[in-house]
Structure 1
Amino acid sequence: MKKIMLCAAAFAVLCMVSCGTSKKTVSVMDFSGEWDIVSVKGEAVDAEEAPYIGFDQKTGRVYGHAGCNRLMGAYHVDSLKAGKMNFSQVAATRMMCPDMTLEQNVLEALGNVAGFSHTGDTVELKDAGGKAVMTLQKRVKPAVTLDDLAGRWVISSIGQMAVGEVERTPELNFDLEAKRVHGNASCNVINGSFSQEEGKPVSLRFSQMISTMMACPNMDTEQSILQALDKVRAFDRGEEEGTLVLLDGNGYPVLTLEHAQGEPAK
């Protein structure tokens, strides 16, 4: 009889411990893709400034544009508490614009985010007190597609530094059908291939890049371009019309391209 009572008591304790320690997960919203920032701190955003945030749910990373500079960082959606999320390690490139107010507000708002609510294709990001600090609206289409890469592009800057005087104007020429790239890195001719990750329309990676072996007076620019090409993981539309930027794995621009007219250089 005592054994039965002891077993029953042990089972009851086991049940209480199990019930007390188990945590139910909640349905986590899929933020994947790109979202336009339509208001910050209750103020509507001018469409011409076009700030946006892109979410990579697989890696927990964010990228985008804050109004002047590109932004990058990480985000976390709480799987145990519905409507709770936060951003971390948010940083931006360091270009200066005439008016930095929007960018400062965007970065400050992201730092205050503690939760969210959503209705259809609209999301409100909220602070710890439940006040909306930013409104996002889902983009119907990605900012760019692979077709935007077609043709001839002059390499105008490496990272944040403009390309200076070089032996030859560095450029890239994309053949979308063959998935090949041809051009020069300011001295030598370069050739290779490129690919994309499945389901990621703005991903980009170069491979099998080879170059001729000619020596030029200044090889620093060429070496920087080749190193940058090896880091490329994505692309996006540039700030100026007719430009594209090639981005590394953290969303930082490593090369800026300007669309060129005419036949490619030999």
Structure 2
Amino acid sequence: MKKYNFIYLAVFVMLLASCAVRKPSGHHVGVLVGKQWQLVELQGEAVPAKVNGKMPFLKLDEEKGRYSASGGCNGIGGEYTLQKNNGITFSRGMSTMMACADMRVENGLRTLFEEADTYTVDENTLILSKGKNGAALAKFTLVSDQSDKLAGTWELDYIMEADDFNTLYSSRKPTIIFDMAEKKVNGNSSCNNFSGNVKIDGHAISFGPLMSTKMACPGNGEQVFLKNIERVTSFDVQDSVLTMMMDDIVVMRWNKK
């Protein structure tokens, strides 16, 4: 009986060990995930602060196990897995398909996610490499919390699933106002006024419940707006442009008024 108990114990330990490989490990995990990292070096070459007018970045969502990134043009994303000994793997998911003037950094990022298998974090610097002792494939610096940049009034400039934005909002574009002290928002959905709570954690954001006035509205601009604001899970602010995303897909884009 003792022999069988020893066998069962050995099998149980082996199963635990195999599961541990799939779990995040290392004391850097807490400062790695849930942050936004700005790409500053790729394949040994410096990356401009802005490419096509946008900041190249990487973000890892701990809860969903997904990453989102941009090389200054399209949103790139998919799933990632953290492994023991600072291992990391990326799998490609959906991305937008815009053509931009400068695609070099974006193309380099796509190659990076295919090759990188190791990460290191040193204070505010994240390095992705191939192999524990391999040369750095990319370097990122930590982006500070942007929630303070949300304060004020924003006017909608783009929304997902709108074939003709200007026709959809020909009379009035939706607006949103952030009150960061009270953690509340209010605005206009192109017809009715709305207000409610906003929850922000780093670059993660969610709205609700939202209350609205009840005027009858022509067209379906308000319905499109309310449907898409519920999809938003993260945000990014660059100068006077606020981008709201669902995972790695751009849902809304706003201009500061």
TM-score by length of 1: 0.76
Aligned residue pairs: how many? 242
**Within the alignment, does 1:68 sit opposite 2:73 as a pair?**
yes
Using the alignment, how far apart are the partners of 1:180 and 1:52 within structure 2? Answer: 27
Structure 2 counterpart of 1:181, from 181, 185, 194: 185
Q: Deviations over 1:143-171 (max 9, x none)?
A: x12x2222211111102756213222321
1:175 maps to a residue whose letter is D
Q: Which has the higher contact order (CA 8 A, sep 6+)?
A: 2
Using the alignment, how far apart are the partners of 1:179 and 1:17 within structure 2? Answer: 52
Q: Which moved more, 1:57-66 or 1:94-103?
A: 57-66
Assess if the C-alpha contact under 8 Å between 1:112 and 1:128 holds in 2.
no
**Within the alignment, does 1:221 sit opposite 2:217 as a pair?**
no
Using the alignment, how far apart are the partners of 1:41 and 1:242 within structure 2? Answer: 31
Structure 2 counterpart of 1:110, from 113, 128, 150: 113
Provide the residue aligned with 2:45 in structure 1: 43
Assess if the C-alpha contact under 8 Å between 1:70 and 1:93 holds in 2.
yes
Distance 1:85 1:159, change over 3 A: same
Provide the residue aligned with 1:233 in structure 2: 233
Assess if the C-alpha contact under 8 Å between 1:34 and 1:53 holds in 2.
yes
Percent identity of equivalent pairs: 25
Shift of 1:223: 1.4
Structure 1 counterpart of 2:251, from 249, 254, 263: 254
Using the alignment, how far apart are the partners of 2:94 and 2:134 within structure 1? Answer: 23
Q: Deviations over 1:33-87 (max 9, x none)?
A: 22222222222212233311112234322223222123322211113xx232101
Using the alignment, how far apart are the partners of 1:131 and 1:90 within structure 2? Answer: 26
Structure 2 counterpart of 1:23, from 1, 17, 20: 17
Shift of 1:256: 0.9
Using the alignment, how far apart are the partners of 1:13 and 1:180 within structure 2? Answer: 59
Using the alignment, how far apart are the partners of 1:54 and 1:225 within structure 2? Answer: 26
Distance 1:123 1:178, change over 3 A: closer
Using the alignment, how far apart are the partners of 2:81 and 2:124 within structure 1? Answer: 20
Assess if the C-alpha contact under 8 Å between 2:73 and 2:98 holds in 1.
yes
- Runs of 5+ in structure 2 lacking a partner? none
Write the mapping of 1:170-209 to structure 2, written as runs, cut at 5 A.
170-186=174-190, 188-196=191-199, 200-209=201-210
**Within the alignment, does 1:139 sit opposite 2:142 as a pair?**
yes
Provide the residue aligned with 2:128 in structure 1: 125
Assess if the C-alpha contact under 8 Å between 1:192 and 1:206 holds in 2.
no
Answer with 1 or 2: which has the greater Rg: 1
